[in-house]
Chain A
Amino acid sequence: LAKTTQPISMDSYEGQEVNITCSHNNIATNDYITWYQQFPSQGPRFIIQGYKTKVTNEVASLFIPADRKSSTLSLPRVSLSDTAVYYCLVGDTDKLIFGTGTRLQVFP
């Protein structure tokens, strides 16, 4: 069974780049890695998804090494509104496994 671990919390200041890593030691070969953002009292919201190497969209980048046993979400120039909990999500054969979640606090 895939086990996914993330740092419990991270602090940053506005304008800085934040990198959050997820370790997934037993990800299924053909499954994607997805990252979600969750605010209090809301469902998670999609940020970015990738299979290997690097993916970039308008809000984030996702780095995935060749062995795919980890992934790093990169948020450039965070703002106060990026304060939230971030989860990685990976597939394990017939299940979806969420990471433990990283609480990001952004300070002015």
Chain B
Amino acid sequence: KAGVTQTPRYLIKTRGQQVTLSCSPISGHRSVSWYQQTPGQGLQFLFEYFSETQRNKGNFPGRFSGRQFSNSRSEMNVSTLELGDSALYLCASSLGQELTGYEQYFGPGTRLTVT
């Protein structure tokens, strides 16, 4: 079974631009979560989608948004990029009908650098 894939793997953007990251979950998984990882803040939960609906959301500004398609693939968008948005963005998928209680399978991440 193929794992979670994320594209692109690396991205360099300029402050003020916007970016879209993509995540393809494991086949059959309907839940997709997004996380931001930085050396200073660690792993932080962005949001979670289940069957095309955002079920849960972390404490990030509205510049961070996402969506999920009918095939469970998900995209995350960050608008008006700031230097502090430089991070590793991780996507994870699970069978989960609940927020916890299901194993999450993580992708390799997208390394975003904002200059």
Contacts and interface: CB of A to CB of B under 8 A. Distances in A.
Nearest to A87: B43
A31 B100 contact: yes
A46 B100 contact: no
Interface of A is mostly: strand
B57 A49 contact: no
Contact of A94 (B99, B101, B107): B99
14 contacts: A31-B99, A32-B100, A34-B103, A42-B108, A44-B104, A45-B106, A46-B103, A46-B105, A94-B56, A95-B59, A96-B56, A98-B43, A101-B42, A101-B43
Interface of A: 31-32, 34, 36, 41-46, 49, 51, 87, 89-91, 94-98, 100-101
Interface of B: 4, 33, 35, 42-45, 48, 55-59, 90, 92, 99-101, 103-109
